[in-house]
Structure 1
Amino acid sequence: MSVTPLQALPLDELRQRSSTKWRKYPADVLPLFVAELDYELAPEITRVLAEAVRRGDTGYTPPDPGIREAFVEFSRRRFGWKVDPDHVFWTGDVMMGVVEILRRVIAPGERVVVMTPVYPPFFDTVEEAGGVVERVPLERVDGGWRIDLPGIRSALQNGARAVLLCNPHNPTGTVHSRESLSALAALAAEFGAVVVSDEIHGPLAHDGHTFVPFLDASPTATEVGYAVTSASKTYNLAGLKCAVMVAGAEPQARTLRALPAEVEWRTGLFGALANVAAYAPESDAWLDALLAALGQNRALLVDLLAEHLPLARFDAPDAGFLAWVDVSAYGWGENPSPHIRRQAKVALHHGPLFGAEGAGHVRINFGCSPDVLTEAVRRVAGIVPA
């Protein structure tokens, strides 16, 4: 069945927003850096939040805000993943959840594997939990990236105690295969390690790619893992503060039940209300329309780069609305983003923040209108020396 893509809001309306994307840089800069979307909220989310404001329902989050049931049903409906409701917990955001889990599965000074290039807060999160980052870069393969399983084996053999997985991967947009995830789980089991999987981009897999939740990859994954996720990336709810923590097996569930009560209290009431509304069946049509819009922009970006920046190296992401682009051939230095922002008036994310592999790279948010995306690439192409 054909789906009508969402239409992004006009720039003059977007510039009235007060979020980071629209307030960090002057109005003459096109902001394609931070992972915020340029679309209206899903109608069910708008309805629920508007009703809460009308009622003055702005107090503390209740002990059972309905997140558990909504997430379990969403996972069944969208991923075919059967989640044990007793293994679902919540907190303020994904990185909060990751920190709290890591604090309980590693000792201070123990090493945690991260697969670079990766979402910059991963580095700080491991350190906040008392761990030491062990970098195992993704392997570059034709058309994308994959987990370096021999590299992870070596890290675990040498004493790393946990793996912080990004699934799907940010910034490359890689949807890890069931085979890779199962093999990762087997390695963790072999060495008595734990896998914590950030799955915030899970609902955003593009046509031809199937998101596999880590805990559903194999029976072994269930025994060694945790997942942390949220509706915030898909539904543009980052400022409302709500995330879901999922335990694979009962021992992990006991660990999450033993977390201080404050971990759950950090969940914002509006975040809980919005996440429940996002996970409801009433929001599925909006999500399908978003995916259609992102699919069009993904294809458009491929064409725009080929036409205007032909020396850029880019593999279209399997999931999400973030593009990882190597522009090192243009000689704009290890961190091209500041030069591009100054000269082209386009703000892109800084490649080196994602790890050493990010030298010469930028990350582009294509969750915007086709016109904005086209104008941004043309502006960047305009600063290429003749």
Structure 2
Amino acid sequence: MSIQGGPTGLQERALGPDLARGFMLLFIALANSHYFVGGDRFFGGFPSDGSPLDRGVGLLIATFVDARAFPMFGVLFGYGVAQIVRRQRAAGNDWWPIRKLLWRRSLVLIVLGFLHAMLLYIGDILAAYGVLLFLGVWALRWKDRWLLIVAALALILIALPSDDSLAAAAEGPDPSMLPPTFLGQFADRIVVQPFIAGLGWIGFVTPFLIGLWAGRRRILERPAEHLTLLRTTALVGVTIAIAGALPLSLVVGGVLTRPGDHALTILGPLHDATGVFGGLGYAALLVLIARRVGDRPMTRAIAAVGQRSLTCYLSQSVVWAVVFTPYLLDLSDTLTATRTALLATATWLATVLLADRMRRAGYRGPFELLIRRITYQPRRTAATRSRNSGSLA
């Protein structure tokens, strides 16, 4: 059993959210893989040349994965925060200690994210989520309607026309992504990382707040009580995500010609904003699948990835660093979009095997243990001092 008010024990976790987190890491691996491919590129970092197979793979990723995986991460992240709050309140803790606990957790994510970006992968999202959590603790006591109103306003903000799509269409891998030297890597990334961490969280406000709202109702943990909502969310969310992606994904796939710059400033934000609906839809769909399939060896193995999502996420970056960094294997100009997608899938499958081995051994994972120890240790230390002083008295 887990300690009162501490992290959720492995045997107490619901299958649905963990299965969703596990599949989410496959989507994240696929979403990151094409950024390393050399050559000219189009919207979202997709290569603008390549074989028909490469273009087809790009079409699938742009339609079903790109800007859809990370919103699902945001939903599950907010949901997990709501779980922590619920356990802390059930243990009798007041709001201020809960905020401090979550601030410790956010600082761990920010520090880990900084090290991750400096050493392995500049496209880190941990630090951005750490900043989001640091600010998001003030939303914990908001009424439901304010969570949803602010979530809607944030979604409107990211849907506004933006020139970011033009930059994404024009730039290939730069020195911060593929550093030519080990020492130069730090000089390039130290300039870029603060902007990613300081601004990247804005795009995840909507799924985070909706995750908080869903977590209050335990929707993903108790799907039988929310079947209509989950089915509607899965159908509507995935449909909107596909429809919003097609104007650009068909260009990535070579079916349509590249639109003009003005159209890109509209279609790019549309692609990202509809991806939020996709993140919600995927989370609901995977929970429904977990309910239907049940506790089987494969679902347990994938859920084990979700239970160790931080360790598995960082493991992916080790592969990216070794395979693509110029002073290591330097395969950026060798691997195509198809091969990098296969590499991403193989990497995820390797983490499934690794996580399942840890599950069988009853081991959480090194980075999960680290973040829990730092998050909860001050409370345990204070409780120990209190017990000791009481016994001495």
Give the TM-score normalised by the residue count of structure 2: 0.28
Instruction: Return the structure number with greater strand share.
Output: 1
Q: Which has the higher contact order (CA 8 A, sep 6+)?
A: 2
Give the TM-score normalised by the residue count of structure 1: 0.28
